[in-house]
Amino acid sequence: MTIDLICLDADDTLWHNMRHFNGAEAAFAAILAPFVEAGVACERLHAVEAVNLAQYGYGAKSFTLSMIETAVDLLGDAAAGRAVADILAVGRDLLAHPVELLPGTAETLTALADRGRLVLVTKGDLLHQETKIAASGVGELFSAIEIVSDKSVATFERLFDRFGVAPERAVMAGDSMRSDVLPALGAGAWAAYIPQPDAWQHEAGDAPEGHARFRRLAALTELPEWIDEIK
């Protein structure tokens, strides 16, 4: 078996991401601290964000809108108005954070590029993702970059069809069971799960242990060796 197409997630697969969202959430809780306990503020934020994903999508801008909505819900219009400027500042910081590659990312991408076509498949705000990709310094290693609103079985089926690659000759690797692993397997591809400590609960899912095309890896650096095993 030869792997022709290697698809990779970006956030928390190539570079740190959730640590910045966690920092923004902590800053949000601090802004509301004079009025609401941190646990209450964060629990409400998570609920609002989950509802808003269908309308706003993923990313820092969506998260900022959810923080503002949560503040209004908890504080009322008058009190929330005083907090909005601080929340917007948190959102701007989230958009401007530096891109920090995970250890061994650049070297691993170079090794993977020798094994097949690399395609970056990531969710999030188009402009923000493009900015992070440019700042990462590794964008030129990819044959194509796909910024999508969500990842589903249909997303990967369209991707494989566009590149003229049979699913069994494609692999997807990422930190999300829900978005990277399960839909890729559902589309007939191979899938590598690379969990990160700062996991977003929204991206959780049941691991398909025992699935012939699934592998859990400790780090992205292990992916080239697994691809060689598939071959």
Neighbours of 159 (CB within 10 A): 24
Q: Which tens digits make up the pLDDT trace of 64-80?
A: 999 999 999 999 877 77
Per the DSSP assignment, residues forming a β-bridge with 5 are: 117, 170
What DSSP character marks residue 168? G
Question: What confidence score (pLDDT) does residue 112 get?
Answer: 98
pTM to 2 decimal places? 0.91
Q: How far apart are CA 171 and CA 66, in angstroms?
A: 34
What DSSP character marks residue 222? G
Structural domains of the chain sorted by starting position, each given as residue range(s) with its CATH number in brackets:
5-16+100-230 (3.40.50.1000), 18-96 (1.10.150.240)
The tokens for 183 are 């839909």
The tokens for 31 are 């802004």
Question: What confidence score (pLDDT) does residue 80 get?
Answer: 79
**CB-based contacts of 7: which residues, under 8 Å, 6+ apart?**
119, 120, 121, 156, 159, 170, 171, 172, 173, 184, 189
**CB-based contacts of 22: which residues, under 8 Å, 6+ apart?**
198
Q: Which tens digits make up the pLDDT trace of 112-144?
A: 999 999 999 999 889 999 999 999 999 999 999
Q: Which amino acid is at 137?
A: G
